[in-house]
Structure 1
Amino acid sequence: MKKYILLALTGILLFTSCDDFLDRTPKSDLAPENYFRDKKDMTYWNAGIYSAFASALNEKLMYWSEVRSDNCDHTGYVNSVYYMNALTSERGEYNWQDLYSCIGRCNVAY
């Protein structure tokens, strides 16, 4: 009797499908079914673009560009790395990844 019950349970498990489990829309990623359904969603996305630009265009971008020329003057030890042009790709505190992230967000929205 145990064999028949075990065989029946195995058959039930083998023949059940998991279509419902595999066909779910992702909640953490953007999919065509779950983004920009109305104007409110677009407004929220634009707010995310602006906040990304605010974090990307912080004081480090000024250090990376303006302090290295004579347009600004450094004050203190922290800025001396920028002032002396001692930045390298390994040592620099600012890289372009944040700006390219902003560009990617704009490309999705528009």
Structure 2
Amino acid sequence: MAAQLLRIGEQAPDPDRDSLNYLEWLKGRMQIISAYPESEFLGLLAMRHRGNKLLTHFFSIEESEEGFIALPHEGSEAESLPPARFPVSACVSEFAKRVGGKPAKYGG
């Protein structure tokens, strides 16, 4: 949430061009959000889930222990097809892996 939520007119530093500035910005955002009361955080989480549902014109994304699953939209021609599966390591950028600090053999 810290990386995705922006105030009107706010722009996040580009992590590919200025990773140190981005990490400081992100750390500050994480500290702000972690200080929110639980009810505020749950409200943000609910809005995220509601927003995701509004973006599912053709498929929906579900999380699983193995990664993410793309399910065809109900009523679409593709509904009879099996879900597409994406391992977590395929969905995480190299920058995010570096920030997470896990060696490549564990992160993908």
Same-fold call, TM > 0.5?
Answer: no
Given the two structures, how large is their TM-score scaled by the length of structure 1?
Answer: 0.28
Structure with the bigger percentage of strand: 2
Question: Which gives a bigger RCO, structure 1 or 2 (Cα 8 Å, sep 6+)?
Answer: 1
Given the two structures, how large is their TM-score scaled by the length of structure 2?
Answer: 0.28
